[in-house]
């Protein structure tokens, strides 16, 4: 598959689905992490410790958000490229058959 990946729309779509699934997994982990952080900060933490913990978790959440967005961009790009490749193949076939 490695040699044909860039010319195989089905393989491109399969890989796009993998990237989308990874994005969903990262997003789920981020949500669980934030919920856990809020549970910890609500369990008696206060003042600077609570603020620092929430700030750190907020930064991690933003980092996860960036990763999720990049994974979705890659997934969308692979799907678009597969569609474009198929359209170009169809156009080429029509030109060659005329």
Asked if residues 23 and 66 have their Cβ atoms less than 8 Å apart, the reply is no
* pTM as predicted: 0.78
Tracing tokens 């994005």 back to the chain, one arrives at: 23
CA distance 18 to 39: 32
pLDDT in tens, the chain (98 residues): 455 656 799 999 999 999 999 999 999 999 998 888 777 766 677 788 888 888 888 899 899 999 999 999 999 999 999 999 999 999 998 999 88
Q: List the structure tokens of 85.
A: 């490749």
What DSSP character marks residue 24?
Answer: H
Rounded CA-CA distance 28/65 in Å is 11
Other CB atoms within a 10 A radius of the CB of residue 23 amount to 19
């Amino acid at each position: 598959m490695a040699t044909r990946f860039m010319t195989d729309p089905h393989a491109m779509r399969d890989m796009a689905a993998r990237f989308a699934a990874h994005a969903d997994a990262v997003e789920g982990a981020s949500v669980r992490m934030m919920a856990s952080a809020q549970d910890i900060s609500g369990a008696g933490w206060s003042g600077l410790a609570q603020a620092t913990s929430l700030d750190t978790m907020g930064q991690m959440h933003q980092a996860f958000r960036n990763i999720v967005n990049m994974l979705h961009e890659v997934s969308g790009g692979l799907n678009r490229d597969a569609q474009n490749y198929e359209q170009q193949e169809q156009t080429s076939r029509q030109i060659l058959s005329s």
